[in-house]
A and B are shown apart, each in its own frame.
Chain A
Amino acid sequence: MNDDELFTPESVDEQVDHLSSPAQDQPWLLNARVVQRLHALYEGDQRSTARVWERLVQQVDVYGSDARQTTGSDHDARHTEPLDGLPQEEMQHVPTREHLSKPRTISWPATIATVLCTALLVGSLLWVLQSLHSSQTNRAQTSSAGMYINETDGLSKLDSQTHQVIWHTPIPQKSPNGILWPAPTVIGTTVYTSAFGPLLAFNAQTGAFLWSRSFNGAIIEAPTLADGQLSVITRSSAFVFYALNPTSGAIISTVTLSMIPLAWATGPQSPVVWDQVLYYTDPTRLYAVQLPSAKPLWQRQVVPPPTSAPPAPPSLLVGPISVSNGVVYVTTRAHYVFAFDARDGQPIWHSPDLGDTFLFLAFTNTMIYVVSQSLDIHAFDVHTHRLVWQKSLVIEGMDVLRGDDDIAVASNTLYVEIHSYPHSSNPQQEQRLTVIALNASNGQVRWQQQHSFLSTYTIQGSILGRDSDSLHIDDWNGPRGMLYALDPSNGSIRWQMPIGDRQAQWSITIVN
């Protein structure tokens, strides 16, 4: 076997085995270098994974002790079985070279059952919901008005004013205990929900089930309606675009778009569809693809300004993609916002160095608001890109802006949701959720409201839309959530409503 010939399909396993031997440590040979480096890389990851496992076991023991103090011994003793008791076939489900053997040798802490049985879904959500202008509300929207809530037992519609249930329908083809994650989408008189499963359609007025459609892969964006077709994008190993008949759910066309090596599945690099064009990024490029033909329109490398210091790292594009007024905005790890013409990708503008890796955007017809994770706000004129005002918010503690759905702008008010939570060394420390309303014209603080709660993890938070006269906050703390409606002029609580159940996450969409 020649050690430096190309890898061949017929003998690739044997070549790899041969070159994996320590005796073949000959870095001047390309094949040996490739194989040995790959082994070294993945073995490093395996060691990391094993270390994390050991830490996880230690941490679970700690949390289990805490949980036992508060919940007593009502957990199921089945959960106390040691890890070694697993059936062999279960343990070998994903065989690896070394790291999988490590968890098997670690005794499962007896107290983990407590965690499994008593761990409560905690988190906090902020929903700032403001309505579209009433003059724009058409008849279909009016008939669809209400609060649509996904819970474990199905989908409900509540009256926005009285909070009475208008209809409730169980989710077909879904386990009663299934996880519901995305908020329902209401288009016209139909409400759609995907819930990590098939796309389901219901009559928004009656709750009657209309149709369901399964896809190979998870739906990554709320469905949209354009040119009479319902557009859905899923992701498995590639992005797949589906055009559906909105009445029947029948698939009209399917287009596999592209593979995206580094995009997070549902994170900030999720693609955006605007005016029948899909925009997505890889670490350094922005792509535009015409839908439904999947014809590539343009691509643009996002190059940091030559003046940037220190030089930008290779993985540049980390933030969300936004499209506003025919301009595509992307943010980068190198502290900049870039703007490109949505039609041809021509560069239009880039911001000055905004001093933070994570930048989140909100738009009006006249302004762009860039809020950094370190809570610096820059307001630019959307046409001239001139800096209009800037402000730094100072909140005590470990404060985090989690994403672009933590900011919203409406009625000349910029709302910012700030999660303040404890350092990992003290997970029992009180967490806070602060909502700040600023004058969108000059950045002056109109009001500030703080909600405190005790929870271990906060994994969601979002600002969804507009409501005519209410600001909605959800505080999920323990077995139930609470939906608050605040007075948008001062942040005081107008009403509150328990929501959710003991088992699952829930999500809500409010239509006026």
Chain B
Amino acid sequence: MEYGQRGSASESDDPWIVRLYQQHALTLMTYIRRHVSSREDAEDIVLEVFLAALQQPKLARLSVEEQMAWLQRVAYYKWVDCQRRAASRTAVSLEEAAETLLANEAQSPDQLAVRYEEDALLRQQLGRLPVQYQTILQLRFANGLRCTEIASRLHKSEGATRMLLSRALNALREIYAGEKEEQR
């Protein structure tokens, strides 16, 4: 299935939800993380979105873009719900917190805090880039595609794809360079 084409899934394609998940979950997660700083909340939202999708088998017949539009719309509602629940959320117990920390022993709480802060900053910086830069960075770094594959997916020439990727990376590089200057 290519971008913009109508889904070819039929009733006989049993695990349509699997493909829907593979096609969109990471993009949706990245998208939601730009709006929701808490990883746990973002995971809850993605889970609820796909639980809702399970009730809509006809999603399989929509184009990739239409599917994403539907998922984003539901994600918005779930995000609203999440904000609402956050107001009445009870505190995490010490035991739970300890479990979480122990599960990631490689990083101290301080290191985790720095890491979260850096992630949030990078998401913010990515959000300022043009959409096509964001898309190409995601395909390169999240999907692990090389320029030839990205070019095929985006219906662009390999040269144009290489140009876009290098510009996107240099744009981020400039942001980091600016920060470095400010720190001096």
Taking Cβ atoms with an 8 Å cutoff, the residues of A that contact B are 6-10, 12-13, 16, 30-31, 33-35, 37-42, 44-46, 48-49, 51-53, 55-56, 59-60, 63, 78-79, 81, 83, 86, 90-91, 93-97, 99-100, 103, 108, 112-113, 115-116, 119-122, 175, 177-179, 181, 196, 216-218, 235-238, 259-262, 264-268, 283, 314-315, 357-358, 373-374, 398-400, 402-403, 423-424, 456-457, 459, 503-504
A52 to B34 Cα, complex, angstroms: 17
A53 to B25 Cα, complex, angstroms: 9
Is B81 in the interface zone, CB < 8 Å from A?
Answer: yes
CB-CB nearest in chain B for A78: B14
A299 to B180 Cα, complex, angstroms: 30
Are the C-beta atoms of B15 and A34 separated by less than 8 Å? no
Are the C-beta atoms of A95 and B23 separated by less than 8 Å? no
For the complex with contacts A262-B35, A423-B85, 19 further pairs of A-B residues with Cβ separation under 8 Å are A8-B166, A9-B166, A41-B119, A48-B33, A56-B21, A59-B47, A93-B19, A93-B22, A94-B143, A103-B22, A113-B14, A196-B66, A196-B69, A237-B135, A259-B132, A262-B34, A265-B72, A314-B124, A456-B55
With A95-B145, A99-B26, A398-B84: A7-B166 Cβ-Cβ less than 8 Å:
yes
CB-CB under 8 A from A113, the residues of chain B are 14
In this complex, the member of A31, A37, A81, A357 whose beta carbon has the largest number of chain B beta carbons within 10 angstroms is A37
CB-CB nearest in chain A for B144: A97
With A34-B169, A400-B80: A42-B73 Cβ-Cβ less than 8 Å:
no
With A13-B147, A42-B141, A457-B52: A49-B46 Cβ-Cβ less than 8 Å:
yes
With A45-B30, A457-B55: A7-B76 Cβ-Cβ less than 8 Å:
no
Are the C-beta atoms of A121 and B55 separated by less than 8 Å? yes
A39 to B153 Cα, complex, angstroms: 21
Q: How far is the CB of A190 from chain B (nearest CB, A)?
A: 24
CB-CB under 8 A from A261, the residues of chain B are 127-131, 134
CB-CB under 8 A from B135, the residues of chain A are 237
With A9-B162, A44-B119, A268-B76: A96-B26 Cβ-Cβ less than 8 Å:
yes
A41 to B123 Cα, complex, angstroms: 8
A38 to B23 Cα, complex, angstroms: 20
Are the C-beta atoms of B30 and A265 separated by less than 8 Å? no
CB-CB under 8 A from B70, the residues of chain A are 181
Are the C-beta atoms of B76 and A264 separated by less than 8 Å? yes
Are the C-beta atoms of B127 and A122 separated by less than 8 Å? no
Candidates A49, A108, A238; contact of B18 at CB < 8 Å: A108
CB-CB under 8 A from A119, the residues of chain B are 54-57
With A178-B58, A238-B131: A218-B144 Cβ-Cβ less than 8 Å:
no
CB neighbors of A among B73-88 (8 A) = 73-77, 80-81, 83-85, 87-88
In the complex, per-residue mask of B155-172: 1 if CB is within 8 Å of any chain A CB, else 0:
000010011011001101
CB-CB under 8 A from B12, the residues of chain A are 78
With A314-B124, A357-B83, A457-B52: A93-B23 Cβ-Cβ less than 8 Å:
yes
Are the C-beta atoms of B130 and A259 separated by less than 8 Å? yes
Are the C-beta atoms of B61 and A175 separated by less than 8 Å? yes
Are the C-beta atoms of B80 and A358 separated by less than 8 Å? yes
Are the C-beta atoms of A55 and B172 separated by less than 8 Å? no
Helix, strand, loop or mixed for chain A's interface? loop
With A37-B122, A116-B57, A264-B76: A83-B50 Cβ-Cβ less than 8 Å:
no
Are the C-beta atoms of B73 and A39 separated by less than 8 Å? no
Are the C-beta atoms of B22 and A94 separated by less than 8 Å? yes
CB-CB nearest in chain B for A180: B58
CB-CB under 8 A from A218, the residues of chain B are 65-66, 69
CB-CB under 8 A from A51, the residues of chain B are 43
CB-CB under 8 A from B57, the residues of chain A are 116, 119
Instruction: Enumerate the 7 nearest inter-chain pairs by beta-carbon distance, A residue then B residue, closest first.
Output: A42-B142, A97-B144, A9-B162, A267-B76, A119-B55, A7-B166, A265-B69
Q: How far is the CB of A455 from chain B (nearest CB, A)?
A: 10
CB-CB nearest in chain A for B159: A9
CB-CB nearest in chain B for A33: B176
In the complex, per-residue mask of B26-40: 1 if CB is within 8 Å of any chain A CB, else 0:
100110011100010
CB-CB nearest in chain A for B168: A7
Is B1 in the interface zone, CB < 8 Å from A?
Answer: yes
In this complex, the member of A13, A402, A423 whose beta carbon has the largest number of chain B beta carbons within 10 angstroms is A13
Are the C-beta atoms of B143 and A7 separated by less than 8 Å? no
CB-CB under 8 A from B99, the residues of chain A are none
CB neighbors of A among B108-141 (8 A) = 115, 118-119, 122-124, 126-132, 134-135, 137-138, 140-141
Are the C-beta atoms of B30 and A358 separated by less than 8 Å? no
With A44-B119, A398-B85: A122-B21 Cβ-Cβ less than 8 Å:
no
Are the C-beta atoms of B142 and A459 separated by less than 8 Å? no
CB-CB under 8 A from B177, the residues of chain A are 30
A402 to B68 Cα, complex, angstroms: 20
In this complex, the member of B14, B83, B128 whose beta carbon has the largest number of chain A beta carbons within 10 angstroms is B14
Is B51 in the interface zone, CB < 8 Å from A?
Answer: yes
Q: How far is the CB of B142 from chain A (nearest CB, A)?
A: 4
A182 to B74 Cα, complex, angstroms: 14
Are the C-beta atoms of B127 and A283 separated by less than 8 Å? yes
Candidates A9, A78, A93, A268; contact of B163 at CB < 8 Å: A9
Q: How far is the CB of B148 from chain A (nearest CB, A)?
A: 8
A218 to B109 Cα, complex, angstroms: 44
With A30-B177, A39-B141, A267-B73: A7-B169 Cβ-Cβ less than 8 Å:
yes
A266 to B73 Cα, complex, angstroms: 6
CB-CB under 8 A from A457, the residues of chain B are 51-52, 55
Q: How far is the CB of B47 from chain A (nearest CB, A)?
A: 5
CB-CB under 8 A from A103, the residues of chain B are 18, 21-22
Are the C-beta atoms of B137 and A38 separated by less than 8 Å? yes
A181 to B124 Cα, complex, angstroms: 32
Q: How far is the CB of B133 from chain A (nearest CB, A)?
A: 9
Candidates A37, A42, A175; contact of B30 at CB < 8 Å: A42
Are the C-beta atoms of A459 and B145 separated by less than 8 Å? no
Candidates B81, B143, B165; contact of A95 at CB < 8 Å: B143
Are the C-beta atoms of A400 and B84 separated by less than 8 Å? yes
A402 to B17 Cα, complex, angstroms: 26
With A45-B30, A49-B26, A259-B132: A34-B124 Cβ-Cβ less than 8 Å:
no
A31 to B116 Cα, complex, angstroms: 21
- Give me 24 A-to-B residue pairs in the complex whose CB atoms sit less than 8 angstroms apart, sorted by A's number: A12-B169, A31-B173, A39-B141, A78-B12, A83-B18, A86-B15, A93-B1, A94-B22, A95-B144, A96-B143, A103-B21, A261-B127, A261-B130, A264-B72, A264-B75, A265-B69, A267-B76, A357-B83, A398-B85, A403-B80, A423-B85, A424-B85, A457-B52, A459-B74
